[in-house]
């Protein structure tokens, strides 16, 4: 396949743009976080507080100390990676690279990022519960709910956005025409 025909393939064009946007956010994000440390700290603290609040609804063993969320004698420290920032940045690049209107991209980012964040909160809750009650499977669950499902989660939310927002909008437009 020649370069011109590869460039005319929408899938390859998408991948090229995705790589470009990913490179941009990969360089910009560390610069932003080093310039503005407070928002990152606020995000990790907020994640710890939300997880503690949700845990305390179902258990009186829940405790919080700084960014450390504990359930009984088991605790996890919430760091920047626990806020779902990696997932959000990759998803952002995938949505921006997809050929659709800016309004639909905005819907994708506005709904997709909170969904990924909610998944992340759930992931931490499950990990804390597993660490407290089934410590033997904690390593497996940690790996499974972080790296092993990261790209699948992003892909699922991205495809959901395409099917439910992008294509639905297109089919409505075609039906009216």
Partner 1 sequence: MGSRTLKLGLSFVLLTVGLTWLWVAWGGAAYERFLLAIAGPALAPFGVTQIVESPAQKRFVSLVPFVVLMWLTPGMSLRRRTAGTLIGGALLVLSHIALVGIEQWAHSSRRPTASPFSTLFPAALFADGLPFMIWAVVAHRFLGGLLSRVMGPRPGGDAAG
Contacts to partner 1 by CB under 8 A: 5, 8-12, 14-15, 18-19, 22-23, 25-27, 29-31, 33-34, 81, 86, 89-90, 93-94, 98-100, 139-140, 143-144, 146-152, 154-155, 159, 162, 166-167, 170
Q: Which residue, 107, 71, 112, is CA-closest to 89? A: 112
Report how far apart, in Å, the C-alpha atoms of 5 and of each of 10, 11, 16, 133 are. 10, 11, 14, 56
- What minimum distance in Å lies between the beta carbon of 120 and partner 1? 14
- What minimum distance in Å lies between the beta carbon of 63 and partner 1? 27
- What minimum distance in Å lies between the beta carbon of 153 and partner 1? 9
SS3 70: strand
- What minimum distance in Å lies between the beta carbon of 109 and partner 1? 16
SS3 64: strand
Measured from the CB atom, is 43 or 55 closer to partner 1?
A: 43
Measured from the CB atom, is 48 or 153 closer to partner 1?
A: 153
Tokens 């905005």 belong to 106
Tokens 């919430």 belong to 78
Cα separation, 49 vs 150, in Å, equals 23
């Amino acid at each position: 396949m020649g370069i011109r025909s590869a460039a005319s393939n929408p899938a390859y064009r998408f991948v090229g743009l995705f790589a470009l946007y990913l490179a941009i956010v990969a360089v910009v994000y560390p610069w932003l976080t080093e310039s503005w440390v407070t928002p990152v700290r606020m995000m990790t603290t907020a994640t710890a507080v939300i997880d503690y609040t949700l845990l305390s609804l179902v258990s009186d063993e829940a405790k919080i100390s700084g960014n450390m969320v504990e359930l009984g004698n088991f605790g996890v420290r919430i760091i920047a990676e626990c806020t779902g920032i990696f997932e959000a940045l990759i998803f952002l690049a995938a949505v921006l690279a997809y050929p659709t209107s800016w309004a639909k991209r905005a819907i994708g980012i506005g709904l997709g990022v909170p969904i990924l964040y909610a998944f992340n909160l759930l992931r931490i809750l499950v990990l804390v519960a597993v660490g407290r009650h089934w410590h033997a499977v904690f390593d497996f669950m940690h790996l499974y709910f972080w790296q092993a499902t990261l790209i699948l989660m992003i892909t699922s939310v991205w495809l959901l956005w395409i099917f439910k927002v992008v294509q639905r909008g297109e089919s409505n437009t075609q039906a009216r025409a």
